[in-house]
Amino acid sequence: MTRPDFDTVVLPPDPPSSGEPLTVMYDTEFTSLTSDADLMSLGFTALDFDAELYIEIADANLAIASHFVRTEVLPLFGQHNPEVLTRDQAAVRIAEWLDELREGHRNRQIVLASGSPLDWQFFLELFIPLPGQPSWASEFNLVGRLVSSLLDSGRQHQAYTEAVEAYFRSHPGSRHHALVDARSMREGVRESRYS
């Protein structure tokens, strides 16, 4: 599947939302930076309260993993209590988890924030609609954003970057683990709020 640029993804208008949106930081890991890349894992962590989800995709095609992925990413698999699920099971589990976050109120919007536009594309591929069906993201009241859109000033960007790097220094050897990367973004955004 061709992955369009993040800025050119066209989604239906956001449905009406009640209450403040919930922000969830997330990251994905995938087999390579090629057009035939396959999703391998997803990590999610809520920005303002303690809720996390980490999934490793059982039916990912690891045979096409790049050298970098084989040496830097795959050795981290199995850490942080993953739920090992097929793609279809992962889609169901993610939908359940997001519903739990907003206590079943689907009119409360969730902002999914990541560090790369590729994360949004891989996430959406789990929920490719059948012909004639609405976009899952729109139906489920999700909005994809880059983390940088959550930061207002140069000072916040600097504080974010410093906090992320500090997080990885305190968790050596864990960069490129989807859940750890999501946690680092969460800490960066939290720290940026005080700048």
User: Is 10 inside a domain boundary?
Assistant: no
Q: Which domain holds residue 87?
A: 19-146
User: Is 54 inside a domain boundary?
Assistant: yes
User: Is 174 inside a domain boundary?
Assistant: no
d(CA 157, CA 176): 21
pLDDT value of position 11: 42
User: 107: burial class by Cβ within 10 Å (0-12, 13-18, 19+)?
Assistant: exposed
User: Is 186 inside a domain boundary?
Assistant: no
Q: Which of 60-69, 131-140, 154-163, 171-180 has the lowest mean pLDDT?
A: 131-140
State pLDDT tens for residues 80-132.
999 999 998 999 899 889 989 888 676 788 999 999 999 999 998 888 765 55
pLDDT value of position 5: 44
User: Is 61 inside a domain boundary?
Assistant: yes
pLDDT value of position 10: 43
d(CA 57, CA 144): 21
State pLDDT tens for residues 2-45.
444 444 444 444 445 556 789 999 999 999 998 899 999 999 99
**Structural domains in the chain (count):** 1
pLDDT value of position 176: 96
User: Is 31 inside a domain boundary?
Assistant: yes
User: Is 55 inside a domain boundary?
Assistant: yes
Segment 140-157 shows an average pLDDT of: 88
Residues contacting 5, CB < 8 A, separation 6+: 117
The count of residues in the chain is: 195
pTM: 0.86
Segment 162-168 shows an average pLDDT of: 96
The CATH number linked to 104 is 3.30.420.10
State pLDDT tens for residues 46-59.
999 899 999 999 99
